[in-house]
Structure 1
Amino acid sequence: MLTIDDDIGRLRAYIDQAGASGEDRLPAEPKLCEELGLSRGRLRTLLRRLESEGAIWRHVGKGTFIGQRQANLDDAAPSPHISADDIMDARLLLEPQLAAQAAVHATQVQISAMEQCLTDMETCDTLSQWRRLDERLHRLIAEATRNHLLLMLYDVLRSQMRHSIGARVDEAFSTLPAPRMDSDTQHAEIVDAINRHNPVQAENLMRQHLQAVRTILFGTR
């Protein structure tokens, strides 16, 4: 008899495959139950768990979507005028400040969520899972600023990043394990600085992390 961990593993694999195919929304619950051989009750239990992890989000009347819920901004659509350099420049300006603010304002519940995300990243099996957790961690840091406007700005930036350099991220981080391991170490240092409520160190570590990511993606610039 399959356990809930077996079922959630199959659902994660289904989501990974859907995301890799460019899908951003899961089928309706009856179809998903049929495809996975699950009861409606078991499926809803699994969906609630994945939603709490940030792997999916649900909108009543619209469906279940892959990834995390974003702030509702009309200008979050991809723009052909935004380059990869623009994206990384913006990240280097915004995200270190978010980390500093998170170090000031983060609650223990938010820090615990970051630490759990770090643990999940170390043990995940696929690049697509790791990327979703990477997005979740960076968004948890933005949420920990407890500033809704900053969170909205982050969501716009992340949306543009996903459209502009998502494929390059997949290519760079899938070839060797070292980039992912290095990023995991850098993430842990950032979260530790936030946990110690050290905004200067959190800011500097986030900046160093993003500069390292830029080098991995595009070489020294």
Structure 2
Amino acid sequence: MAVTDEAISKIREMITSGELAPGDRLPPEKELSERLGLSRSSLREAVKALEVIRILDVRRGDGTYVTSLEPRLLLEALSFVVDLHSDRSVLEIFAVRRILEPAATDLATRAATDEEVDRLAAILDLVDPGGSIEGLVDHDLAFHQAIADISGNEYLSRLLESMSGGTVRARVWRGITQHGASERTIAEQASILAAMRSRDAQLASALTCAHVAGIEQWLRSDMESRS
């Protein structure tokens, strides 16, 4: 288990055991890291991840608190990580995407007008590498869906759109826990766009396959590390 994941697991156990209740303030960082046997850097990463999924509330200059959600909602938020890593159907979705998305990119590269390629570039230009993980995931979904739409195959486009919702949590979790995931995603998309602009359908398709496979491989490894 990765160090950050271990930190997340230990904080989650403190909450589910009742040691920390909704609205409680976490002990100071130094004290908590020593109690849990973790480095302060891994503890910070864990806090950041749990803040994203609304388990913790970081109040600048005040401290970090367990969110004041009612117990049912807090447990639903805590189940985020557990459900993601116990539901192996998401791996099957990524496997299907790895087949279909390169095909959509191939078709789109051959069919795209200069204006459509420019619109893809505009989507890429809007992303903020230092922004929220949720924002990056929304951008990633929009980029790939735009390519599918350009392919000209409406059935393929709608099929990929219907599958995207099942991968959102995995993409968010990767962005939280994998170092450099945001920068890697943007760089891979820029390479796909460059291949499309040069009308190299084979290269654009191969880059798309590698892009999807990278997420799939990370998720598989992450699941195996928890089994």
1:87 to 84, 87, 93: 93
Inter-partner Cα distance in structure 2 for 1:85 and 1:217: 7
Match of 1:203 in 2: 205
Judge conservation of contact 2:101–2:209 (CA < 8 Å) in 1: yes
Q: What residue identity is the alignment partner of 2:91?
A: D
Shift of residue 200 of structure 1?
0.5
Shift of residue 215 of structure 1?
2.2
Alignment of 1:58-207 (within 5 A): 83-123=89-129, 125-159=131-165, 161=166, 165-207=167-209
Alignment of 1:49-60 (within 5 A): none
Match of 2:217 in 1: 215
Q: What residue identity is the alignment partner of 1:92?
A: R
Q: Which runs of 4+ in 1 moved over 3 A?
A: none
TM-score (normalised: structure 1): 0.57
Larger Rg: 2
Secondary structure of the residue aligned to 1:146 is coil
Inter-partner Cα distance in structure 2 for 1:123 and 1:219: 25
List per-residue Cα deviations over 1:158-198 (Å, max 9, x = no partner): 23x2xxx4323222212355011111111111111111111
Judge conservation of contact 2:129–2:136 (CA < 8 Å) in 1: no
Inter-partner Cα distance in structure 2 for 1:116 and 1:123: 15
Inter-partner Cα distance in structure 1 for 2:100 and 2:169: 22
Inter-partner Cα distance in structure 2 for 1:155 and 1:126: 22
Match of 2:22 in 1: none
Match of 2:6 in 1: none
Identity of aligned residues (%): 18
Q: What residue identity is the alignment partner of 1:128?
A: E
Inter-partner Cα distance in structure 1 for 2:112 and 2:179: 31
Q: What residue identity is the alignment partner of 2:205?
A: E
Aligned length: 140
Inter-partner Cα distance in structure 1 for 2:126 and 2:195: 19
Judge conservation of contact 2:137–2:168 (CA < 8 Å) in 1: no
List per-residue Cα deviations over 1:36-82 (Å, max 9, x = no partner): xxxxxxxxxxxxxxxxxxxxxxxxxxxxxxxxxxxxxxxxxxxxx98
Secondary structure of the residue aligned to 1:125 is coil
Judge conservation of contact 1:105–1:146 (CA < 8 Å) in 2: yes
Shift of residue 122 of structure 1?
3.8
Judge conservation of contact 2:120–2:193 (CA < 8 Å) in 1: yes
